[in-house]
Structure 1
Amino acid sequence: MTKQDFMGPKGIIIIALAVFTVLTWVFSDQIYGADAVFYQNNFGNSALNTAVSYIPAVIKTIVIMFCAWLINFVVQIVLEYFAKGSKEVITAMKLIKSLVKYLIFIVAILLCLSAWGVNTATLIASAGILSLIIGLGAQSLIADIIAGLFMVFENDFEVGDIVVIDGWRGTVTEIGMRTTKLVDYRGNIKIVNNSKISTVINQSKKTSVALCYIGVEYGDDLSRIELVIRDNIDRVKSHIPQIINGPFYKGVDSLGESSVNLLFMADCKEEDLFIVQRAMNREWKIVFDENHINIPFPQVTVSQYEAHQETMD
């Protein structure tokens, strides 16, 4: 929650709920006590008496949910403070934050049920209710939670890694108890249930390889071009700080229709892959221009067909 939220309508609601919570604590005897007006049944109407008798439970529910939100808010801030350093620490803290949020929510629900007179101990111990919950879909929830724990403990990927899941490439921003969130380079967010993640390509475990293809004219002297490349390869590297190893000249990759295609490679971090590829294209273009090495473009020769017409005498 941002500072702007506190200054707006959300902040007003939070302050009002805080004041309401304090007042219910101060006047708890008058609200929940045996002599409270809500239990007097002196309104002359049975339906109205019943409705009024539920007011303390409603008040308790509001207070419990607000306190649960407040506790979760404070705990999330504390955990966020410690979620610094290595990717392992950040990933673990993200998972703990998700776990704490669910635990607080479950406890709050049980307290609310208790406020309405439900015997929560019996509810928890009831095998029939548990079976009903599982039958209503808790299998997938449990599967998501177990899958999330395995992903963290087996270190398949971490927050900040670039991965490919179901053909979707993005940076892992959160590994939660139920879902994993990815964001691509356009800012699109993909949310995947942990149990649905079957195969993962982790592109951040090792360095990636940036590729650069440049075509030269067939008429140019290839030996001279390779000498120019050798003399300028260190200069190109000095202009691209994201390169870890390289760049390396790998020779003639293919013989195209209009050009001899040369291949350059460089090791870099996955998050720098496209930056390095664009930078190598630029730097080698500058080098080739300075040394009068032409990069060809497709050319088409068009000839006009003239039909032979015989004249009749």
Structure 2
Amino acid sequence: MLKIIQYLLNKLFKFTRFDVRYKNTLCSVLLSISYYIILIISIILILREFQIVDVTKFGTLVTGASIVGLIAGVASQSILKDIFNGFFILFEKQLQVGDFVVINEVFRGTVEEIGLRSTSLRDWDLKRITVPNGSITSIRNYSKDKMRVVVHVRVSYEEDPMKVLSALEEVCGIMNEKYKDYLWRSPSGEARSPFKIYGVTDIEDNPVGAKYTITGVIESYKYFSALRETKLQILIVFKKSNVHIAYPTHINILHHDNNNTKEL
């Protein structure tokens, strides 16, 4: 039955102008609602078959309703919390099917299904994670139109700052030209906030090196690709320009006398 409903919904959505993610979200929710409706009807039919509840008779209907009410009363608190929280998540479009999200700063993955009571994710290892809607307290959505890529790199204090800035400028040029399809653009097609050097963002209380930062606003669905490519280009350009990334060092000083050698 659910397969038939899914087929009919897909046919129906072909005549709408919804984007793919919104269509998949609506389809997921409507399938969840259909599942519970079919389940309730099936329970009523089974009860009627065993002459426990007959919807055509008022007395047995009241008895059946009392039984259902008793069961619902026990579980209603968590169920209603799940349903209401799920409703607001959908109404406010906090997430949609296909979005990459982090829920409660713990669960990370792509939204695969949104139901009345729970939301299902598929993580990097392809494990399916199901989170009750009522327990969702925070959502970080990586699929909302635009995102800012922020990349920090620490460079040794011995390096010439102007040389470092020149190398980072080259990185920004490569990202803005070679990967221009990643950039977030205005309706007219102009890149609004391309990659640029933000500047030196830390030189205090760090013995390793100065921290430089570059940023760029990109289409949200390209975030992780842009982040990887930016870091790769930094390594390539720094290697070519002979700019050394800072890293912690440990120096051992050996003291030698006639009897033994000691490490200081």
Q: By the TM > 0.5 criterion, same fold?
A: yes
- Could you say which TM-score interval applies, normalised by the shorter chain? 0.7 to 0.9
**Corresponding residue number in structure 1 for 2:8:** 78
Matching residue within 288, 295, 305 for 2:238: 288
1:135 maps onto 2:73 in alignment: yes
TM-score, L = length of structure 2: 0.76
Quote how far apart the aligned CAs of 1:195 are: 2.1
Distance 1:234 1:124, change over 3 A: farther
Counterpart Cα distance in 2 of 1:138 and 1:296: 57
8 Å CA contact 1:83–1:90 kept in 2: the answer is: no
Distance 1:128 1:235, change over 3 A: closer
1:119 maps onto 2:49 in alignment: no
**Corresponding residue number in structure 2 for 1:304:** 254
8 Å CA contact 1:243–1:276 kept in 2: the answer is: no
**Corresponding residue number in structure 2 for 1:247:** 195
Quote how far apart the aligned CAs of 1:232 are: 5.2
Question: Residue 182 of structure 1 aligns to a residue in which SS?
Answer: strand
Question: Residue 290 of structure 1 aligns to a residue in which SS?
Answer: helix
8 Å CA contact 1:123–1:129 kept in 2: the answer is: no
Quote how far apart the aligned CAs of 1:184 are: 2.4
Counterpart Cα distance in 1 of 2:97 and 2:60: 37
Quote how far apart the aligned CAs of 1:197 are: 2.2
Aligned AA for 1:253?
T
**Corresponding residue number in structure 1 for 2:151:** 212
Question: Residue 109 of structure 2 aligns to a residue in which SS?
Answer: strand
% same residue: 25
8 Å CA contact 1:212–1:277 kept in 2: the answer is: yes
Counterpart Cα distance in 2 of 1:231 and 1:194: 46
Deviations along 1:78-110, whole A, 9 cap, x unmatched? 224556752322212211111112111221222
8 Å CA contact 2:151–2:227 kept in 1: the answer is: yes
Counterpart Cα distance in 1 of 2:86 and 2:3: 23
1:83-122 equivalences under 5 Å are 85-86=18-19, 87-121=21-55, 122=59
Distance 1:79 1:229, change over 3 A: same
Which has the larger helix fraction? 1
Q: Which runs of 5+ in 2 are unaligned?
A: 185-192, 260-264
Structure with max Cα Rg: 1
Counterpart Cα distance in 1 of 2:61 and 2:87: 24
TM-score, L = length of structure 1: 0.66
Aligned AA for 1:186?
D
Counterpart Cα distance in 1 of 2:156 and 2:248: 11
Distance 1:148 1:303, change over 3 A: closer
**Corresponding residue number in structure 2 for 1:7:** none
* Residue range with higher mean Cα deviation, 90-99 or 116-125: 116-125
Quote how far apart the aligned CAs of 1:270 are: 4.5
CA RMSD of aligned residues (A): 2.8
Counterpart Cα distance in 2 of 1:232 and 1:199: 34
Distance 1:199 1:300, change over 3 A: closer
Quote how far apart the aligned CAs of 1:296 are: 4.3
Aligned AA for 1:291?
S
Question: Residue 261 of structure 1 aligns to a residue in which SS?
Answer: strand
Question: Residue 224 of structure 1 aligns to a residue in which SS?
Answer: helix
Aligned AA for 1:173?
E
8 Å CA contact 1:258–1:297 kept in 2: the answer is: yes
8 Å CA contact 1:92–1:152 kept in 2: the answer is: no
Distance 1:149 1:226, change over 3 A: closer
Distance 1:199 1:302, change over 3 A: closer
**Corresponding residue number in structure 2 for 1:26:** none
**Corresponding residue number in structure 1 for 2:98:** 160
1:180 maps onto 2:119 in alignment: yes
Matching residue within 210, 223, 227 for 1:273: 223
Q: Which runs of 5+ in 1 are unaligned?
A: 1-70
Which has the larger strand fraction? 2
Quote how far apart the aligned CAs of 1:185 are: 2.5
